[in-house]
C-alpha cells in the first residue's frame, strides 16, 4: 500500500514564525503536491513537484515556498506565517504515467495565532 | 480556480437509500476522479473515469460522465452509516501534460443516518 505521511497532525504557530511542513511518500512517486483546504473553498493547489528539485506554482503560491531535495520528501515552507494561513494542509503523491490516482497524507491542521 | 462545482453541498439520507452527487466542470478533461474524505482526515481515491468512458462501476459506486454537458454524477447505492463523509470530484484538464495536476470541487457532505 502507498503510504504518505505528514510530520504533524496539529500545529500551532505564532504570526511571523517560519513554518516547515514535511511530507514523505514511500512509493517512489515522481509527482508530489501540496494543497490547502478551507471550508467552502475545497482543495486549492499551492505547489507541485514533478521530479527532484523541480517545482511549479499552483493556484495560490503566495506566501509559500517548497523544497524537494529527495524524491520521497516534499516540504512546504511558510516563510513568515500569517493568520490567514490557518488551514488544513494536505500533501499528495502520484506516479507519473501511472493510474493518475493521487494518494493523500492525513493532513496537518495549522493554526497561526 | 475552481473547476468543479458540486451539487448538492450537503445531503442527508437514511441508511439503505441511494445517494447521488453531481459535479460540473468547465474545460476539456483527460479524466475525472472522485475522492472521499472522512472528517479531519486525508482524501481517499474512489474511482476514476476517463474522458472516453461514459459509465463506470466499483462495488456500490456508479459514476457517469457526460462530456457534452461537462458533468458527472456519483451514485452510492444501499448507503451505510459508514458512508458518512465528504465527497469531492477532481478533474485533470486536457492541457495539463503529465503533471497529474487536479482541480477539485468544493465537495458534497453526505450524512447517512442509521
Query: Over the stretch B78-110, which tens digit does the pLDDT of each residue have?
Result: 999 999 999 999 998 766 666 778 889 899 999
Collapsing DSSP to helix, strand or coil, B83 comes out as helix
pLDDT, chain B, mean: 91
Q: Please answer yes or no on whether B42 and A99 come within 8 Å at the CB atom.
A: no
Distance of CA A48 to the CA centre of its chain: 8
Q: Does B101 touch chain A (CB under 8 A)?
A: yes
Q: Does B21 touch chain A (CB under 8 A)?
A: no
Residues of A in contact with B106 (CB under 8 A): 40-42
* Concatenated DSSP letters of A44-105: EEEEEEEETTEEEE-S--TTEEEEEEETTEEEEEESS--GGG-EEEEEEEE-TTTT---EE-
Tell me the average pLDDT across B68-79. Answer: 96
Residues of A in contact with B45 (CB under 8 A): 101-103
Which CA distances in Å does A92 have to A18, A101, B28, B96, B102?
A: 22, 10, 23, 17, 11
Nearest to B100 among A4, A94, A106 (CB): A94
Q: Does B40 touch chain A (CB under 8 A)?
A: yes
CA-based end-to-end distance of chain A: 37
Q: Which domains does chain A have, with CATH numbers?
A: 4-98 (2.60.40.10)
**What is the reported pLDDT for B69?**
95
Q: Please answer yes or no on whether B40 and A107 come within 8 Å at the CB atom.
A: yes
Residues of B in contact with A59 (CB under 8 A): 1
CB B18 within 8 A of CB B77: yes
Q: Residues of chain A whose pLDDT is less than 70?
A: 1-2, 98-99
Nearest to A105 among B1, B2, B42 (CB): B42
Query: Cell 505564532 sits at which residue?
Result: A14
Residues of A in contact with B33 (CB under 8 A): 100-102
**What is the reported pLDDT for A55?**
93
Q: Which of B18, B32, B20 is nearest to B71 (CA)?
A: B32
Residues of A in contact with B105 (CB under 8 A): 42
Tell me the average pLDDT across B30-36. Answer: 93
d(CA B46, CA B60): 11
CA distance B78 to chain A (A): 26
**What is the reported pLDDT for A98?**
64
Q: Which domains does chain B have, with CATH numbers?
A: 5-113 (2.60.40.10)
Amino acid at each position: 500500500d502507498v503510504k504518505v505521511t505528514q510530520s504533524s497532525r496539529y500545529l500551532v504557530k505564532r504570526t511571523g514564525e517560519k513554518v516547515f511542513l514535511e511530507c514523505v511518500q514511500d512509493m517512489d512517486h515522481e509527482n508530489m503536491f501540496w494543497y490547502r483546504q478551507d471550508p467552502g473553498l475545497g482543495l486549492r493547489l499551492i505547489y507541485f513537484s514533478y521530479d527532484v528539485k523541480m517545482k511549479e506554482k499552483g493556484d495560490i503560491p503566495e506566501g509559500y515556498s517548497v523544497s524537494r531535495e529527495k524524491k520521497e520528501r516534499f516540504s512546504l515552507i511558510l516563510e513568515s506565517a500569517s493568520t490567514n494561513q490557518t488551514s488544513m494542509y494536505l500533501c499528495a503523491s502520484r506516479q507519473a504515467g501511472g493510474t493518475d490516482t493521487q494518494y493523500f497524507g492525513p493532513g496537518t491542521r495549522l493554526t497561526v495565532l | 480556480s475552481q473547476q468543479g462545482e458540486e451539487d448538492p453541498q450537503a445531503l442527508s439520507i437514511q441508511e439503505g437509500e441511494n445517494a447521488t452527487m453531481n459535479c460540473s466542470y468547465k474545460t476539456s478533461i483527460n479524466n475525472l476522479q472522485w475522492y472521499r474524505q472522512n472528517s479531519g482526515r486525508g482524501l481517499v481515491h474512489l474511482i476514476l473515469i476517463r474522458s472516453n468512458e461514459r459509465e463506470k462501476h466499483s462495488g456500490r459506486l456508479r459514476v457517469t460522465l457526460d462530456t457534452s454537458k461537462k458533468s458527472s454524477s456519483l451514485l452510492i447505492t444501499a448507503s451505510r452509516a459508514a458512508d458518512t463523509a465528504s465527497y469531492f470530484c477532481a478533474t485533470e484538464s486536457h492541457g495539463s501534460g503529465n503533471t497529474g495536476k487536479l482541480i477539485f470541487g468544493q465537495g458534497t457532505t453526505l450524512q447517512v443516518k442509521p
